[in-house]
């Protein structure tokens, strides 16, 4: 099995792109990534997308985007794993290169959500949950996370305000990211006054729906220097699953899939949580930030929310998370998010994170989660040893 590196990144701004279609966004990011890698062709394209059919009436995205990006003839298909479709597409791309089957592989994540009305978006996202036993009973994705947050607060004695710093930190970092959707800071006070969406989840607990696309170009590490002076090695790629339905989890307050995926990744990379310099976790809701930190071993059970205090999670702190805004402030174009996370880790490891630069990072981790913790896909990236 070969070693895999990332030699190109591309991304669109995340936002409400009234004037751009799904294919416009995907092609824009793909062309940017291919230019970054200095390639004009690719052997394969894997497209991560959750709801193209539902939101814009378009399936068959791998082929469509390959064609419009000038890659007609290449291997291409769409990959779907709900909210971690982006990381799943990267997993697919990684497998294609690590197996020796393909050399130049592009991985794009794209989602176009804002043309759909709010009720359509909510119904679409609820398809990440169990259709028969959760969604059809009236549980939206935000409602499911509200149940989780309420139970967490009860068992661990946390209050709403304890989650504020996850949102505050994300927004603070987004200010320095030109691709982020919300480039303005928010205060703890604003968080506490934000209106409820599904009690105890308020507006500022929740990542926004958005449009966006991001792309990575992968190649075998041995060839990486042909394409980029700063290739970033994929030290680990690991997927793990749990039950889709929250009520079927062994312990709903422990993200078993995130734990397993992280453990597998640490093992593959030969590292531990202490070695991780940058963490792009799946902050779809602030409760997920707390639970992810616990599942990945950055905090003890029931203590994840405390990491948000005292600057621990800031860029200058010991456990920098959401360094370019996270899902909360960079935005969450669902199927694209997993690729944005990895693009951002690459920016950090290359030293290209601008005002958000973590000091001399060597290892970065990105974890993308599907549904309320049903699927977790973790990638660990490493600065190439020269």
Partner 1 sequence: MTIDSLLLKPDREVGIAGYGAYVPRYRLPASEVSRVWKEGQEPPPIQEKAVPGLDEDVVTMSIEAARNALKRAAIEPGLIRAVWVGSESHPYAVKPTSTIVAEAIGATPHTQAADWEFACKAGTEAIQAAIGFVGSGMARYALCIGMDSSQAQPGDALEYTTGAGGAAYIIGPREQSLAYIEASYSYVTDTPDFFRRPGQHYPQHGHRFTGEPAYFKHTQTAGQRLMEELGYEAGDYAHAVFHQPNAKFPLKAGQALGFSKEQLKAGLLVPVTGNTYAGSSLLGLTSVLDQATPGDRVLLVSFGSGAGSDAFSLVVTDLIEERRQRAPLTRDYIARKKYIDYAVYTRFKKKLVMH
Judged by the rule CB under 8 A, the positions of this chain that interact with partner 1 are 16, 18-19, 114-115, 117-118
- Rounded to whole angstroms, the Cα distance separating 113 from 20 reads 11
Minimum CB distance to partner 1 smaller for 14 or for 281:
14
C-beta closer to partner 1: residue 59 or 115: 115
When the beta carbons of 159 and 196 are compared against partner 1, the nearer one is 196
Distance of CA 31 to the CA centre of its chain: 21
Which of 83, 219, 296, 322 is labelled catalytic?
83
1 or 117: CB nearest partner 1: 117
Rg of the chain in Å (alpha carbons): 19
3-state secondary structure of 318: coil
Q: By the 8 A CB rule, do 121 and 128 touch?
A: no
CA atoms in the 13 A half-sphere facing the CB of 370: 32
- Token reading at 381: 């990236």
| Residue 83 a catalytic site member | yes
Please, are residues 138 and 280 in contact by the beta-carbon 8 Å criterion? Answer: no
State in Å, rounded, how far the first CA of the chain is from the last one: 21
**Cα dist. 51→135, 167, 281, 343 in Å?**
16, 26, 22, 21
Minimum distance from CB of 314 to partner 1 (Å)? 32
User: Closest CB to partner 1 among 199 and 274?
Assistant: 199
Q: What are phi and psi of 211, to 5 degrees?
A: -110, 145
How many CB atoms are closer than 10 A to CB 14? 30
- Please, are residues 17 and 181 in contact by the beta-carbon 8 Å criterion? no
Chain length of the chain: 386
Q: Which residues are catalytic?
A: 83
């Amino acid at each position: 099995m070969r070693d895999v590196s990332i030699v190109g990144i591309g991304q669109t701004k995340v936002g409400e792109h009234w004037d751009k279609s799904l294919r416009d966004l995907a092609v824009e990011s793909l062309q940017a990534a291919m230019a970054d890698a200095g390639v004009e062709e690719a052997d394969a394209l894997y497209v991560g997308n959750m709801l193209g059919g539902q939101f814009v009436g378009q399936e068959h995205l791998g082929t469509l985007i390959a064609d419009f990006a000038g890659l007609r003839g290449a291997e291409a298909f769409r990959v779907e794993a709900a909210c971690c479709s982006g990381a799943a597409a990267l997993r697919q791309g990684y497998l294609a290169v690590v197996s020796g089957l393909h050399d130049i592989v592009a991985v794009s994540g794209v989602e176009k959500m804002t043309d759909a009305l709010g009720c359509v978006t909510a119904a679409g996202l609820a398809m990440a949950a169990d259709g028969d036993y959760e969604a059809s009973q009236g549980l939206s994705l935000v409602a499911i996370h509200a149940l989780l947050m309420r139970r967490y607060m009860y068992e661990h004695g946390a209050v709403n305000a304890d989650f504020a710093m996850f949102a505050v930190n994300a927004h603070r970092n987004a200010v320095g990211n030109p691709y982020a959707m919300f480039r303005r800071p928010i205060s703890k006070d604003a968080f506490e006054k934000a209106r409820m969406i599904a009690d105890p989840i308020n507006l500022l607990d929740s990542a926004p729906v958005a449009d966006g696309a991001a792309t990575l170009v992968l190649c075998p590490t041995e060839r990486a220097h042909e394409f980029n002076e700063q290739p970033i090695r994929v030290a680990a790629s690991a997927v793990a699953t749990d039950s889709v339905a929250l009520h079927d989890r062994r312990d709903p307050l422990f993200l078993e899939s995130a734990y397993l995926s992280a453990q597998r990744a640490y093992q593959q990379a030969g590292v531990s949580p202490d070695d991780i310099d940058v963490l792009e976790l799946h902050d779809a809701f602030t409760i997920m930030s707390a639970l992810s930190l616990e599942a990945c071993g950055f905090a003890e059970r029931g203590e994840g929310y405390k990491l948000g205090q005292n600057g621990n999670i800031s860029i200058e702190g010991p456990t920098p998370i959401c360094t370019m805004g996270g899902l909360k402030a960079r935005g969450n174009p669902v199927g694209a998010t997993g690729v944005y996370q990895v693009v951002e880790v690459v920016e950090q490891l290359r030293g290209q994170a601008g005002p958000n630069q973590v000091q001399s990072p060597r290892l970065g981790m990105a974890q993308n989660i599907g549904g309320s913790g049903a699927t977790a896909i973790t990638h660990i990236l490493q600065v190439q040893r020269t």
